[in-house]
Amino acid sequence: MIPIEVLFGVVVLIFVLIGVARGFLRELGVTMVLMFVLFFLVQFQGYFDKGFEAAFSMSQRVLPVRNENLIKCWVFLFIIIGTTFISYQGETIAFGGQLPKNSQRFLLGGLVGLLNGYLVAGSVWHYMDYFGYPIKMLGYTPENSSKLAQSMLRFLPVTFLGHEILFGMNWFLYLFALLLIARVIR
């Protein structure tokens, strides 16, 4: 079994390559969508938890659920992966402008691809850890995580969403607002 931190790195590298191929102007639209969805999931986590508890308590009479964390984890992973797929496949928010003709094009595309990979892979990893790695077929458990993997958990994107920086807002809102302003100006 491949360690989870290596899998995380491979997924991020794939997104870097996608960013280089697509260019940073198209990748920024995906970044905006991903940031909005992750912000939404974090801000309404309490409501999701209450909704899950109500649904599970009502369904116990009809269809008993053995592993509630497995269902919760699949829902969050479906939202993140589905949003990512739709953002890349569908009509995206494209930023206007000309791509540079030199190596800046590849560097900027790779950097934005790196950010998108970090957002997607890091969020999937966070929710798998949050729910106790309930997808057993993947073979990941908290017990078999390396010290590096344990230390990397503090640096996943969803962890940062709750930290306020200025005026009671967190850094994701600032970055989202900056990208939205850049899109409107162009």
Give residue limits of the domains in the chain. Answer: 4-185
- What pLDDT is stored for residue 64 in this prediction? 66
Residue 169 gets which letter from DSSP?
E
pLDDT band at 174 (very low <50, low <70, confident <90, very high): low
- What would the pLDDT profile of 8-48 be if each residue is shown by its tens digit? 999 999 999 999 998 888 888 888 888 888 888 887 888 88
Average pLDDT over residues 132-160: 86
Q: What is the DSSP string of 94-116?
A: PPPS---SSHHHHHHHHHHHHHH
Cα–Cα distance measured from residue 142 to residue 128, given in angstroms and rounded to the nearest whole number: 10
Residues in the chain: 186
pLDDT of amino acid 115: 93
Q: What was the pLDDT predicted at 56?
A: 77
Residue 163, CB-side half-sphere exposure with 13 Å CA sphere: 9
pLDDT of residue 97: 67
What does the pLDDT read at residue 63? Answer: 67
Report the b/e string of 27-43 with b at 16+ CB within 10 A. Answer: bbbbbbbbbbbbbebbe
What is the arithmetic mean of pLDDT over 96-100?
68
pLDDT in tens, 54-73: 887 777 766 666 788 888 99
25 close to 95: Cβ distance less than 8 angstroms: yes
Average pLDDT for the chain: 82
The predicted pLDDT at position 41 comes to 87
Residue 83 pLDDT greater than 50, yes or no: yes
pTM given for the model:
0.82
Long-range Cβ contacts of 25-28 (<8 Å, 24+ apart):
25/94, 25/95, 25/96, 25/97, 25/99, 26/92, 26/94, 26/95, 27/109, 27/112, 27/113, 27/116, 28/93, 28/95, 28/112, 28/179, 28/182, 28/183
Q: What is the pLDDT of residue 166?
A: 46
- The DSSP symbol for 146 reads -
pLDDT of 52 above 80: yes
